[in-house]
Amino acid sequence: MTSPPALTGPFAGLLLADNGASVLRIDRSTTSPNPAPTTDLLTRHKSSIAVDLKAPAGIAFIKSLLPHADVVIDPFRPGVLEKLGLGPDVLLEINPRIILGRMTGFRRDGRYKDMAGHDINYIAVSGALSLLGGTNEKPMPPANILGDFAGGGATLYQGILLALLERGKSGKGQVVEANMVDGSAYLATFPRMLQKTPMWDRPRGENMLDGGSPWYDTYVTRDGKFMAVGALEPQFFRELIKGLGLAGKGIEESRADRKTWPELKETFTRIFKSKTRTEWEQIFDGTDACCTPILDFQELQQDSNREGDQRPAVTLRGSPSLALTPGSASRDPSTGQGAGVKGESYLGTTLYPGQGGEETLNDWLGWKRGRDFDLENGGLVKIPSSKL
């Protein structure tokens, strides 16, 4: 079960749903006969029930579900779940095997714990944002990928899986706490360590992996598109120089001298602008130059020759995740199993409160409206005579 206010909880739920979990989202009750969908687009393979969490009957209904649930995801600010009477002690008393996944932005015990924030704030205080951006430029946030999704939802998902593994041994559930500050800081483990070495001990934008090196950077092509270069090793650099028409000029031997970097970067910039991206692809495709086009999602979606079909993040050969793009029943496990989803992951689908939830309750537990539960003031409640 999940609640939808932020992106991190829904994304953790999406990761579970894409891997076969039955995910039931809990929405606010509504008396509208045609409730509007929420802004959450991370809804594939999920369903919803509407419950009035401010009413005792609504809380009682949630408690009746807990013995049958494996995981509860709580993305609320600290203390909200406790005020509802659904804190960790209550949940674990009702179901000692339950996993409660809790997500906050800032640390629960840090100096910012009582403040509101968003992805950019969390990665700012984690140190990760300080790494991103060019020389003499302000730090540049990578949309909200690093905090909300990588350091947030994906990290919470990882913790839930670890707790499920532990439950397989001990038979006991537990509380999993994640926050986006620690999650994004953990992702920056390697750069943090490299700052103590010559590879990353200079200001932002002047190091090997942050745009300082000419052979680890991006370049504009004649048609205003971009190429990405990552020719770190000497043998790959030789292939890059060859493709750029610079072989035999001694660049391979002098590249370790940082004093040559500004001029070399100007040379690369000029040469890349002399051809279109397609022309550069024709030169570098199939080589070890580590030089590739920078593709946007629109062209990935429109060009079937590109690798734009989203696949599960990992492949389990024996029990593959659910497919995101259409395919035959005999598809390779790396593409997932099943028929795929509408929009092939390029289109998010909304979910209105209560959509599909009653079917899920029937699939889970055989519960039916009118016999086991009913609708009261726009939210599901127990029927007193039922055995829920």
Cα–Cα separations (whole angstroms), residue 9 to 35, 327, 353, 369 = 22, 29, 17, 28
| Residue tagged active-site, from 40, 52, 148, 309 | 148
Measured over the CA atoms of residue 363, residue 365, residue 371 and residue 374, the dihedral's sign is negative
Spatial separation of the C-alpha atoms in residues 121 and 75, rounded to whole Å: 17
∠ CA(190), CA(191), CA(197), 5° rounding? 100
> The tokens of 293 are what?
């086009």
* DSSP state for residue 135 in the 8-state scheme: T
Cα–Cα separations (whole angstroms), residue 329 to 201, 310, 323, 335 = 52, 17, 10, 11
Q: At what angle do helices 180-187 and 119-126 cross, to 10 degrees?
A: 60
Distance, CA of 130 to chain centre: 21
Cα–Cα separations (whole angstroms), residue 49 to 96, 101, 120, 206 = 24, 19, 32, 52
Instruction: Please indicate whether residue 285 is annotated as part of the active site.
Output: no
Cα–Cα nearest to 208, from 258, 263, 243, 252: 258
> The tokens of 172 are what?
């006991």
Cα–Cα separations (whole angstroms), residue 216 to 211, 254, 330, 371 = 6, 16, 40, 64
Spatial separation of the C-alpha atoms in residues 229 and 72, rounded to whole Å: 43
Radius of gyration of the chain from its Cα atoms, rounded to whole angstroms: 26
Report the run of H or E that residue 188 belongs to, with start and end: none
Spatial separation of the C-alpha atoms in residues 70 and 68, rounded to whole Å: 7
User: Which residues are tagged catalytic?
Assistant: 148
